[in-house]
Amino acid sequence: MAATQQTPVSLINLAAPSRNLYQIECAAHTRPWSAEVFLQSKGPGYRWCEARIGSQPVGFTVCQQVADELTLHNIAVSPRYQGQGIGAVLIKDILAYAEARLLTVFLEVRVSNQKALNLYHHSGFETVGRRPHYYRLQDSFEDGLVMRWTPATTP
Ligand SMILES: CC(C)(COP(=O)(O)OP(=O)(O)OC[C@H]1O[C@@H](n2cnc3c(N)ncnc32)[C@H](O)[C@@H]1OP(=O)(O)O)[C@@H](O)C(=O)NCCC(=O)NCCS
């Protein structure tokens, strides 16, 4: 049970991803993005947020806004800092940003990624679709779930 944030975390918005965040990407994900894709994910519409403890980066999110939709492309927390509420802090920041601008938030997640699913459900996301064989694994595929969060103030 990890949801209460006991660790003092600060959030910083970045104009572009950094090599430090790519290290977190590689440590946290079983199939990380390529460095090229990760470091090129920037420009108009992108929003990077870095979570820090002191001066140390411990997690990040990257979203992309198109019209009134915000897509969460990636979220990761350093393995040794997982389960301390940092993911919840990062998601809360995105939802506050979306709520203030009346943006609907979408994301995709592997059906077996229970920790991420718990986090998204607790944060108010609902499952709105399923993409068969969406994720390529070592020697198989896995379905992806499409999840949506809608701002409370939607007319
Ligand atoms: C998914 C990930 C970002 C979560 O980060 P985290 O810092 O470990 O997450 P948190 O500690 O904030 O939350 C996770 C736990 O808190 C619980 N939680 C979060 N918000 C909560 C709330 N408001 N109330 C109750 N419980 C809550 C979750 O259920 C989960 O608990 P459990 O897994 O022990 O059941 C992290 O595990 C990670 O980097 N995973 C690898 C990369 C990845 O899979 N990214 C997602 C791709 S879609």
Choosing from 75, 119, 135 the residue with most ligand 1 atoms within 8 A of its CB, the one to mutate for a pocket test is 119
Active site residue 108: yes
- Tell me the DSSP string of 13-50: EESS--HHHHHHHHHH-SSPPPHHHHHH--STTEEEEE
Whole-angstrom distance, CA of residue 18 vs CA of residue 16:
7
For 95-104, how does the pLDDT look when each residue is reduced to its tens digit (9 = 90+)? 999 999 999 9
- Residue 6 predicted with pLDDT over 70: no
**Residue 112: pLDDT band by 50, 70, 90 thresholds?**
very high
**Residue 38: pLDDT band by 50, 70, 90 thresholds?**
very high
Distance 7 CA to ligand 1 centre (A): 14
Distance 123 CA to ligand 1 centre (A): 10
Report CA 58 to chain centroid distance, whole Å: 13
Domain boundaries, the chain: 10-149
Strands 69-77 and 104-110 turn out to be parallel
Question: Can you read off the two tokens belonging to residue 114?
Answer: 């229970």
Whole-angstrom distance, CA of residue 93 vs CA of residue 79:
20
**Residue 39: pLDDT band by 50, 70, 90 thresholds?**
very high
pLDDT value at residue 7: 66
> Phi/psi of residue 135, each to 5°?
-105, 130
What atom in ligand 1 is closest to the CA of residue 121? 29
User: What is the average per-residue pLDDT within 5-15?
Assistant: 85
Question: Can you read off the two tokens belonging to residue 131?
Answer: 């993409």
| CATH topology assigned to domain 10-149 | Aminopeptidase (3.40.630)
Bridge partners, 56 (sequence order): 53
User: What is the average per-residue pLDDT within 110-124?
Assistant: 97
Look over the chain and give the mean of its residue pLDDT values, rounded to a whole number: 93
pLDDT value at residue 128: 98
For ligand 1, atom 23, the nearest C-alpha belongs to: 122
For 43-79, how does the pLDDT look when each residue is reduced to its tens digit (9 = 90+)? 999 999 999 999 999 999 999 999 999 999 999 999 9
- Residue 10 predicted with pLDDT over 50: yes
pLDDT value at residue 139: 86
Active site residue 36: no
